[in-house]
Amino acid sequence: MNLEKILLHLKLDGFCVVEGVIPPEDVRTIRHEVEAVMAAQGSADTYEGVSSAFEVLGSIPTFLPYLANEKVMAVAREWFGDHVRISYTGSMITEPGNERGRWHADWPYNQEKAAHVPAPYPDYPFQLSSIWMISKFTDENGGTWIVPGSHRTSDNPTGAIGVPRFEPYRTERHATGPAGSVLLFDSRLWHATASNESNGRRISMIVRYIPWWLDIRVLMPGNPGAPNHGGRAGLAGERDPPVKPEVYERLPETVKPLYRHWVRSS
């Protein structure tokens, strides 16, 4: 799919699945790397049967070059200009029979996060979300629930719009694709973790891209300037810790500029 078509789908529908971004031999290796790091890190559970890991960059060497994949970067540059950063990196596994997640939009539109753009927010995509399919995503194994076109609304179910968080929404559909695809979406798009009704794990990498001027220090765990530091606001923050200098040094040269702002200082 060419850039023009991807941009059109993102504008009209709020999402686009680009297939064939990671070749099968790399998908297999990345799958092993992700399963190994998640087993080692113990993974924080968000919902029953769903696990995530955040400090993964040092353990997924085969995935690293894809972080600066030309097609994805072309979209990010088209939206944000030349200077793009990554605001979040995590891996995720949903086990067969996992619990369905809540409808939400990603930061900074998620009204549950301490640092967020208050609704009604302006019609501008502050962030490009991506979910990399390290196993295939199908209706059966719980390809991400999305509501096409919902990015055009100036609020989302984390706010006071009155959409029940755990209930099916009338126009919901699964985002599906073969392993090696990437689901790109406007971070305003309403989405939710689906339940996996298959007998295999659904494995993904989640990466989000922002313009250089968006202040994500508010998301840095332990930052005394963050609005929810010490749990004051009683609202969730993010859990993606800064990158260790030795991990940063081993990143591909194409990827380093995307993380330069997120390197641990001591």
Ligand X SMILES: O=C(O)CCC(=O)C(=O)O
Residue ranges that bind ligand X, judged by CB under 6 A: 92, 101, 106, 131, 144, 191, 193, 206
Q: How far is the CB of 92 from ligand X (least distance, A)?
A: 6
Choice between 101 and 157, CB closer to ligand X: 101
Token pair listed for 161:
């719009």
Token pair listed for 127:
């962030």
DSSP for 184-246? EEETTS-EEPPP--SSS-EEEEEEEEEETTS--GGGSTT-TTSTTGGGTT--B----PPBPHH
Choice between 185 and 259, CB closer to ligand X: 185
The set of residues, in sequence order, having a beta carbon less than 8 Å from that of 161 and lying 6+ positions away, is 119, 153, 155
Q: How far is the CB of 250 from ligand X (least distance, A)?
A: 26
Q: How far is the CB of 50 from ligand X (least distance, A)?
A: 7
Helices in 2-94 by DSSP H: which ranges?
3-12, 24-41, 70-80
Q: How far is the CB of 266 from ligand X (least distance, A)?
A: 30
Residue 158: burial class (beta carbons within 10 Å; 0-12, 13-18, 19+) = buried
Choice between 69 and 127, CB closer to ligand X: 127
Q: How far is the CB of 232 from ligand X (least distance, A)?
A: 24
Choice between 179 and 206, CB closer to ligand X: 206
Choice between 127 and 248, CB closer to ligand X: 127
